[in-house]
Amino acid sequence: MNRLRRPCRSFVIPAQAGIQRLRFAVAGLMAMTALSALAVDEVEIGRRIYVDGMLSSGAPLAGERFDAKEPVTGAKAACVTCHRPSGMGSVEGDLLVSPINGTYLYNLSQKGRAVMDPHVGKLLSQAHEAYTDETLAQTIRTGINNAGREMNVAMPHYALNDKDMAALTTYLKQLSVQWSPGATADRVRFATVITPGVAPARRKVFVDMINTAVTQKNGATAQGKHHMTSAAEMLLRTERKWDLDIWELQGAPATWAAQLDTLYRKQPVFAIISGIGEGTWQPVHDFCQRQQVPCWFPSVDLPPSTSQDFYALYFSRGVALEADLLAHSLRLQNAHAPQRVVQVFHDDVVGRGAAEALKRALQGSGIAVEQRLLSEAGASADDLRAALQGVAATDAVMLWLRPTDLAALAEVPPPAAAGLYFSTELASGEHGFPAAWKPAARLVYPYELPAKRTYNLDYMKAWLKSRGMPLVDEAMQSEVYFALTFLTDSFAEMLDNIYRDYLVERAENMISRREASRAEEEANVRPHLGARAPYAGNRPVGTPLPMAAQPTNVAVIGHSQSTTIYPRLALGPGQRFASKGGYIVRFADPGSDKLVAETDWMVP
């Protein structure tokens, strides 16, 4: 069917008219650019109010809570304190701080739901009538929500002028309304990082574990299967399959930043999960901060300082924690403390970092510190013998040695010192120590004691056995297993709120609760030892224990606080090291690797 067309008439625009129209077009473009800049400025003003507690005038944000009896100003009044960087809210004891990002305030998505219950993790945020700019302003200023009800007294009332209120509203409207890079409606992409120098056996088992775990996770997400940790996740159908990239870095650390940026530009990822490294981790840490990508519990000996960094989460401070533990223990000896500590360490990033941490921790103690360097490569018996020359009976020796060094130590007689201390982190545990050194050796021990640790790691070892994977490095493998299971649990509770900031916040909020509940679940199953091993092997990583496997006799509950090599893991807002203490231990006898604790659990 032919369409009726109007006749086409051509005409010529006079030159003056053309110039005038060009001027109008340029003016319009400039106006649009000005409006765009204005919108950007308004978001930034709103961000400063929300995050920093600073008004557009530069004055501190001010509010009053608890019926005007408690004024708050500046950073303490900032919305981020309770509602968190993602705007997804938080849990403070029994107080549920509701989400306030654009999705939840304005109902921009009908799927807007968040797990909020602090005890069972399954109570969802309640739907409410959509706010308008006017009702939101009234709520912020008066503490009366858009249903006419008073909000919790912990919520401050803010005296914001119209300009600042508009800026804050604009910021909230754009906050966490789009999934972070790497996430789609049905998939989420992760990467893991391997730095140069990782021993082949450790690298292989690391890659095998992480690939197997992701395959299991995706098998549990297949159509018709519902191995989910949350009833809400099943109801809302928010579970996603995982894609994994292995980023294996090459060359010197100075080149890693460019390598990581290139990999990320090629394929953005939602988070870096686990990871393994020898030596420095700083370039990877810096990449995560720069790209705002969560760095999720890598296995590294010397994590960077995270005092101002949001996106990196670590198991502990590694050898820096061991340094503080030893210094704390030596200070407690008072008059019996050694006169000098002789440190023997390799001239590499981790060795220097460990030695400097101990030197710093002993400042002001009256204990002198002497540094004795080994080469960056492995130490020979002659190297170690030379490093121990002149050690006196009033000295303590801290040996920052790796397993290959311990083998060479068998040819070196132990000096008659006040104390011979070793790094458990660098030695990869308590195995491989020469028998002649065991009577005097003391290990700085950031892990759970072996008898209880065996119980904690029962499931991880059964999972390895069922998949035909060897136990090469217990500490590293337990960390990888935890990182993956905890990530599965965290994603289940995130539902459809796939924001990077929210993942970090969920870790802060749920790690200790998750550990307690999972340890209890696993304790419930342990009496069924005959059925336990096959079941653990077939259970998808991170999924809950089936009710049918839970016995009626639960007398063993309470024997374990953790499912990791660490006694307890906990984080709070801004905390980035989940395990914060350790022991000093000794060998029970030279003929075995059995350990005896010389101190209680210490948090330096």
What is the tens place of the pLDDT at every residue in 210-227? 999 999 999 887 665 555
- In this prediction, residue 228 carries a pLDDT of 45
- In this prediction, residue 238 carries a pLDDT of 78
Where does the pLDDT of residue 94 fall: very low under 50, low under 70, confident under 90, or very high at 90 and above? confident
Q: What is the mean pLDDT of the chain?
A: 84
Where does the pLDDT of residue 350 fall: very low under 50, low under 70, confident under 90, or very high at 90 and above? very high
- In this prediction, residue 223 carries a pLDDT of 62
Q: What are phi and psi of 343, to 5 degrees?
A: -100, 130
CA distance 332 to 342: 18
Q: What is the DSSP letter of 48?
A: I
Q: What are phi and psi of 150, to 5 degrees?
A: -70, 135
CA distance 301 to 281: 9
pLDDT digits over 228-283, tens only? Answer: 455 666 666 778 999 999 999 999 999 999 999 999 999 999 999 999 999 999 99
Bridge partners (DSSP) of residue 398 are 343, 421
Q: Has residue 162 got a pLDDT over 60?
A: yes
Q: Has residue 330 got a pLDDT over 70?
A: yes
- The SS3 assignment for 462 reads helix
Give the residue with greater pLDDT, 262 vs 523. Answer: 262
Q: Which residues have a Cβ under 8 Å from the Cβ of 323 and sit 6 or more positions away?
A: 354, 355, 357, 358, 360, 361
**For a pLDDT cut of 90, what percent of the chain falls above it?**
65
CA distance 352 to 320: 10
Give the residue with greater pLDDT, 5 vs 370. Answer: 370
Supply angle C-alpha 485, 95, 100, rounded to 5.
80
- In this prediction, residue 227 carries a pLDDT of 53
Bridge partners (DSSP) of residue 342 are 370, 397
Q: Which residues have a Cβ under 8 Å from the Cβ of 257 and sit 6 or more positions away?
A: 283, 286, 287
Please give the domain boundaries of the chain with CATH numbers for all domains: 51-174 (no CATH), 187-317+453-549 (3.40.50.2300), 319-445+581-597 (3.40.50.2300)
232-237: long-range contacts at Cβ-Cβ below 8 A with a sequence spacing of 24 or more? 232/113, 232/115, 232/122, 232/124, 232/495, 233/492, 233/493, 233/495, 236/111, 236/113, 236/495, 236/496
pLDDT digits over 422-439, tens only? Answer: 999 999 999 999 999 999
pLDDT digits over 457-510, tens only? Answer: 999 999 999 999 999 999 999 999 999 999 998 998 888 899 999 999 999 988
- In this prediction, residue 125 carries a pLDDT of 74
Q: Has residue 15 got a pLDDT over 60?
A: no
Work out the average pLDDT over 501-521. 82
- In this prediction, residue 226 carries a pLDDT of 53
pLDDT digits over 541-593, tens only? Answer: 433 333 223 332 323 333 456 789 999 899 988 899 999 999 999 999 988 99
What H or E segment, with its residue span, contains residue 453? helix 450-456
CA distance 364 to 367: 8
CA torsion, points 594, 597, 602, 604, in degrees to nearest 10?
Answer: -70
CA distance 503 to 240: 15
Residues 217-237 as b or e (16 or more Cβ within 10 Å = b): bbebbeeeeebbbbebbeeee
Work out the average pLDDT over 311-340. 96
CA distance 298 to 272: 9
pLDDT digits over 40-89, tens only? Answer: 689 999 999 999 999 999 999 999 887 667 889 999 999 999 999 999 99
Where does the pLDDT of residue 98 fall: very low under 50, low under 70, confident under 90, or very high at 90 and above? confident
